[in-house]
Structure 1
């Protein structure tokens, strides 16, 4: 039974003291992520013994980092999800007093050993301190149970995780104690499918140069233990060549793994030239070859292959170049010895419509020093389209490339087609109008462009080479063009601002004192040729920004009409705006001594008259009991004789007025009384 975990710092100290006597590094197959057992979802795994070992501490989400979580006496299991759903499984100790823990990882696209460093790939787990069966079930807790006192916690099952189709997973089973009685692991209760539905078959046979060695490729992974061993080595296979026999069958993948998909078959004698068949039989172990779910390749299934004595090879083809390639791939029917490729690329030259320099060459993904593809590095991308020729020749190293059979490749050429790069740069013309402008866009179609995709303000998609569209004469518009010739594409975009619509506007004070000048600010927009201002009946101006206007001082309040007409003569566009200015009879600030709020239009309000030049104004009115009935900081806001909508009675009211005079900057304080008359 397991008590609360030892803090990790203490655990490291203890481990250093006991490393040689109690635990060693995990080396057995299945005890490391890279050699995990492949899983068949319908098989119950019986593990009768677990070697004592420990190699890595582990991160457990939601649990203290200082606790001693580790892959202690572990076994790892790997599987792929073929149908998405929930995963249920049970780990049952052979002795129920044993305590097993587990953790599930999603290693899709990752190195299996990333489980030790990548904290983002943990799916779920359970590290309960209680003994007995553990796993994932529909009744489990929806969190990872951390190390715990077995007397107080029995959450040994976690809820079933949801698996994603196509993802790869690793399941760690860790034994906390050193009593290695073993366990069983079974998968059931969930809806996910983790058993490969593909039936096993032979896929392809590739004869070696000497005709005595065959590389056999399967359509999926098969169990290493299904290969006959000892005296039955090679008994699963036979060849159709008369008098020839199979002497051995091996797989390098079985040295440090449980499964394989490639075999090496060795024959007693070289094959004669021609077509042959490799036939699979039941071996001395009573079966052909089986997958991890014990499904066998059908007996007497065969694959036809051809053996021809080695001859110097020529390149098959040049890979598809795409747009502006700076690398070229040369494909061969046999593997090339990577060591015979001149690194400086001097085994190859390229000629065509534009100069091309090869600056390097290497085998792509050289496996065991051989590759079917040579990658040529160019000094610059090919941007001029046309037919190019690759010449394979003797390099600066004194030889040409050599294939896997040791034969040098003859001097020869292979052609490829390159595409021109394209430009999406376009032109447009503009026909201006008063309210709408018509823009005509065009592309030259150079370098075999055959696809156009216009976008105007992201809402209109046009696929013609040329297009006309109208924009408001006052607008901001985004235009984008994407062009392609089927290989190369390009994008051009810009923001086009239209500002030719004639729109008149101006700002001015609506009320002025008789001694002041009226200052007008022109805020019009658009293309304007001519300005015409009229200031009531006292004058006019043709300037865009007229001089301040002085009105007659008549001691009578008057209103003047200010009008602006703007026009664009070439477009025959015109617009006008009218505003009114009130010129007061005087700007003497005073509060009336009486007012009559009876809605007859005469003296209905109380306010400081003509306070246009009062800055920082503060106006207050009090009733005879000293209560504030009105307060304003704007001189045009007036008291109507009501408080909260209730009419106030006839009587005398006290007012106070404070302000700073705009011209003199003098601070003024006044107070007085006004009679409200009803």
Structure 2
């Protein structure tokens, strides 16, 4: 960026042009720099307005920018000083420049890396500028009064350089660039020649590598800059420079051919094309000539793609997948499947054919859709023939697969998992004998019962100890086809004796009723034994009473059930008969461990529910409380014995049978 005093109007007009504008013209970026040499004068007739990227100097205080730039690239072939002159077409305009050594550096570092600096001149004066013996310093900073010429820098053999020419004036008037006055050489003495030729059978084309970079515009698009010897019927029909869309020079070219080249030896030579010249380097040196021998190359024998194998064929196939020894062109596969025939155990035809992914127009797998599904085992053969498109399969190098090439494949029968069984019932366990016929080559059996696997045999036996409904499932396979079947089996000999009682504890004069709750199939007999001397065989017995005794007694009640298979099952229940159900609290107790009246608790609380028993000392402090009438107070609090004397108790409960709410209160004496 230049810092100069300009009239206010000029500042207003040019300020928008100082903003960064992306350069799109070839040559206005380092990546698309013009190739130059020391023997030519280079003329740029106009300069598109763009740029504005910062350019790092070496010692200048102000930051410079690549305003309206053009870039040039060259290589030093002899170490020495570099001299050049930039002549504006309008000598009243300001041009600036900076030279970079980009050897072994990414070229975009010219915007950031000071180490690439070689020389520069950013003078604010108008007219000719450059590097010459008149210059006093390698770096001239911006501003009026600064010299227009810098001293000639020394450049090194084998190094690569970029020269930036920046047009500070906001016009599109051009300039001339000429290298002279220095001792270095930037002219490559090497004559353009062919370095290597590689045959690309897929295109078909020749990929040519040159010994140096040449101008893109020196290449004749019809390929007439080249002579192919030994090509026979094949000829060069076109030429394309690699990367010429984004640059001015290239060192690789693709020559398209009119036909594939047979295996053999060939040569390629440079000559003047129909554009009036051969390939030209940056110094207009022409390639080829009588002193440059043709470059030989060899085309190896190309082989067709052959059928290699068929992917495993599944059950009831409606397609076959053919794998080839090498990729073929998808465009050579007739979509109607006419490239293939299938013969074998049953009549089947190919309905259509398609390549796999066809990435890049090539595939090594072809799917053949069949006219129908093959349901039975058989042997078949896929054979190739010339399709309706006029060819068999064509390899990447255009080699046709021989008609008649074939591959075999086999299919398997479908299978049926239906099975039969026989059932043997018993009182404690049932046996199911299962049978499968194993037809159509079945060699795998997977049996499960109620979702749990239990056998891999063909004809297993399953034993059940739990009766009722069960589901048996079978999955069969012959290695290709599979099938499944299931059936439900009801084991009807389940027998379970059970009954309930209206009460488990009987007070004097109470009676108890028993309800039969037995389950099972075809129950034929019942035997009740109530433990009170009464035995009956009725399913629904009468209520029972028990003798009134002076002490508690347990009676065992049993029910035996029998079914029509002569199986039996027994259920039992204990009935407790108590001498009294009158709930009361003793008036005294002596917790001395003699086994007599050692505790204070509600007596005979058999029919009490929602019970609460509380004991208080003389100070009204709660010393014991429980909701369980059989939990007894032992005369201690926290493990410490309480003193003798009178204690107040309170008792509340609900009578289980009558629903009556009862509240009692009294005193009891603790005696030691």
Task: Choose 1 or 2 for highest CA Rg.
Answer: 2
* TM-score for both structures, normalised by structure 1: 0.49
The TM-score normalised by the length of structure 2 is 0.49
